[in-house]
Amino acid sequence: MAREKMTITIDPQTLQYVDADARADSLSRSEYVERVLRHEHYRRLLAQAMPPRMDRDEERSLRDLLSWQDEAAS
């Protein structure tokens, strides 16, 4: 996947948190920030979506699938 370079301004304390979390996940800062931004994007999309009508087994299967997709994208 092609990457675009960007510059952001961030509070030094927040940057320390980002770096610590990235290290804990064995990721570079860029990889970690990309993962967090992607996760937030999908979270917002899911929050906007109308919930489908389904029974508990269907809902459990869908949650498992979404979890698997999130892990695969990370």
Give the number of other CB atoms < 10 A from CB of residue 41: 10
Residue 1 lies in a domain: no
User: Is 34 among the domain residues?
Assistant: yes
The answer to the question of residue 36 being in a domain is: yes
Domain annotation covers residue 54: yes
| Entry pTM | 0.64
Q: Judge whether 56 lies within some domain.
A: yes
> Residue 24 sits in which domain range?
12-73
pLDDT 10s per residue in the chain (74 long)? 788 999 999 999 999 999 999 999 999 999 999 999 999 999 999 888 877 788 899 989 988 999 988 888 77
Here the tokens at position 39 are: 């996760």
Residue 19 DSSP class = H
The answer to whether residue 5 is domain-embedded is no
